[in-house]
Amino acid sequence: MTEAEKIKVHFKPDNVEIVVDRGENLLEAAIAAGVRIYASCGGSGTCGTCKVTLEKGEVETTRTNKVSDEEFSQGVRQACQSRVLSDLTVYVPVESRLEKAVISRERERVSESLATGWRFRPPLTKYFIELPPPTMKDNTSDLSRLLRGLKKRYSLSNMSVEFSVVRKLAKALRDGDWKVTVTTLVTAAQPGAKGRHEPKLINVEPGDTRGRHYSLAFDIGTTTVCGQLLDLNRGRVIADAIEFNQQISFGQDVISRIAYCQKPGGLEKLQQAVLNSINTVIDELLKKKKVNIEDIGHLMLAGNTTMTQILFGLDPVHIRMAPYTPVANFFPPVRASSLGINVAEHVHIFAFPAVSSYVGGDISSGVVGAGIYQRPELTLFLDIGTNGEIVIGNSEWLATASCSAGPAFEGGGIKHGMVATIGAIEGFRIDPSTWEPSVTTIGGAKPRGISGSGLINIIAALLRAGAISQNGKFNPDLPTERIRPGTDGYEYVLCRAPETQTGKDIVLTEVDIDNLMRAKGAIYAGCQTLTTSVGIRSTAEFNQVIIAGAFGSHLDIDASITIGLLPDLPREKFIFIGNGSLLGARMTSFSTDLLDDARRVAQMMTNFELSDSVDFMNNYVAALFLPHTHAAEFPTITKELSRLQKQRARQGG
């Protein structure tokens, strides 16, 4: 066997170079080089989002219909379908790039926590203690001396001790001249156990270190990894950081990630990718506040079931196959460093318990953070993304379901869709007389594509303006060049080429509208089906609607009701909690009471499977209309659309 030929691949505009074996997949080479290429299908060749332009050199490529003849002749290739044959220079165009700067946009309307009745009492605690030095009359072991002291001074007893504490103990006691600070951790109760475990002694340090007492809260999302640095002395978030989940280069949604895990070494690669993201976020958090890594004592995280399993190295294969079983609903505490997270040895991970394969720890975390289980009022909790997760209930009971919305809300399957980063069109108005648009983008940059919430705003506005009909088709008879025939039926030109970052027109197509209708239809049908499954007559009975999730935070309520995504309720009933997953992780870091609730809440939540429900299918089909086939479901919208139509008829007539 001869040694594999080495080939240099140079990526522009990042100007990074990597040496790989001849025959290496170009997408994998980019990932290895740290070049962030979007690949929403996970490298199967079906999405066309990982297109790059060859400037020099040769690849062997499998052509799909995602690359036109013209593009192909210009050197455009799908990275995932290409194997490098010679030294290469590759240009990664803006639309294929994942930008580092994801914007964490805080809105004032995002409230801190809706949970009540909890005390500030973090599960992680530091105690300073001064011990009498040993003498010949009192020469018990270092450990017994410490435990005796803690019992006497702080009435701490029955503590279990981490072996790593025993390892450090003799030195810490003597370095600190018999004055040390110990850290204890209360872990969540086992499901069904009576009361919580006693605190566990997890760390010992010489001297008084109580002033440096921090922990981390994390939301491990399919798209992004969000972390917060918490000061446990002051009960405050002192830094925020967010990164793309590096897994995104292996596929945009959980299904493509699960599929990737089935390749040899796939699970390990995805696990490493999310660990890299977590480590990057930790790095940023520590740098922002000049906190030392040794002063971080705990890590609370919440993520959907697939993200949590991959993070822990648990094959998610059965999440994807009927009957959709996760490996575990709750996770024993795991030493973070054993997974490869760059924190001190004593740091454990508490991961929020999952309810089912598609209702994960991110949802139970949100439910805890939002305090739904504490109030008698009937609440609808919604987290909308690639999947929609729905929780209904109150302090007596909780029901949950999830439905696949598809990638439309994250820009997937939408001709010019993109994740909600700089340059994504989000705001949209239309002049009802000229049908000329006015768009605003995230960060105010030149338009590059359409975000999920932008899509909703655009379609709602076009619907209200009569540019599209309630069945999602353009009105081709309007006197505007903005509406024109395209490759995917009629399309509406949002921005013309000279105004855009990509140098191409940005359009909304009928296929895009169709995809949006399917996405919103699935969410609404899920809410409807779960509502009636638990014996509630209609969505009108909810006292409160809590919207969680990064996507949800940027939803326009009116536009969302207009297209039939959210139920037609008075606007004041809607509350945004932002990243519910992170909220719960943060709140339980501050309060042992809420931590105790976490598993209980996950166990309270009864899961309903919608995928084999006939009711769901019927509701779904009925929802493939704007806002809905049954006008009675959306009384105020129906009335408003009808009013607008009459107005147009009057003006036109």
- Summarize as ranges the residues that interact with its own copies (CB under 8 A): 134-136, 138-145, 147, 151, 157-163, 166-167, 169-171, 190-194, 312-315, 317-318, 322-334, 354, 356-357, 607, 609, 611-612
Q: Which are the contacts of 234, defined by CB distance < 8 A and separation ≥ 6?
A: none
CA distances from 298 to 158, 508, 611 (A): 21, 46, 38
Instruction: Please tell me the total number of residues recorded for the chain in this structure.
Output: 653
Rounded least distance, CB 326 to its own copies, Å: 4
Main-chain phi, psi angles of 586, to 5 degrees: -70, -45
What is the C-alpha to C-alpha distance for residues 398 and 366, in angstroms, rounded to an integer? 13
Q: Please report, in angstroms and rounded to a whole number, the separation of the first and last CA atoms in the chain.
A: 81
Dig out the tokens for 559 from the structure: 């536009």
Rounded least distance, CB 279 to its own copies, Å: 20
What is the C-alpha to C-alpha distance for residues 186 and 119, in angstroms, rounded to an integer? 15
Dig out the tokens for 103 from the structure: 């914007």
**Helix or strand run (H / E) with residue 43:** none
Rounded least distance, CB 561 to its own copies, Å: 32
- Of residues 161 and 478, the one with the C-beta less far from its own copies: 161
Question: Is the bond preceding 132 in cis, omega lying within 30 degrees of 0?
Answer: no
- Of residues 53 and 611, the one with the C-beta less far from its own copies: 611
**Contact (Cβ atoms closer than 8 angstroms) between residue 450 and residue 418:** yes
- Of residues 332 and 476, the one with the C-beta less far from its own copies: 332
Torsion angle, alpha carbons of 286, 292, 295, 297, to 10:
40
- Of residues 101 and 322, the one with the C-beta less far from its own copies: 322
Rounded least distance, CB 205 to its own copies, Å: 16
Question: 148 in helix, strand or coil?
Answer: helix
Rounded least distance, CB 70 to its own copies, Å: 48
Q: Determine the Cα angle at 428 with ends 425 and 434, to 5°.
A: 130
Rounded least distance, CB 325 to its own copies, Å: 5
- Of residues 137 and 650, the one with the C-beta less far from its own copies: 137
Rounded least distance, CB 45 to its own copies, Å: 29
Q: Determine the Cα angle at 386 with ends 380 and 392, to 5°.
A: 15
- Of residues 38 and 331, the one with the C-beta less far from its own copies: 331
Rounded least distance, CB 342 to its own copies, Å: 19
**Contact (Cβ atoms closer than 8 angstroms) between residue 42 and residue 259:** yes
DSSP label at residue 203: E
- Of residues 86 and 160, the one with the C-beta less far from its own copies: 160
- Of residues 334 and 534, the one with the C-beta less far from its own copies: 334
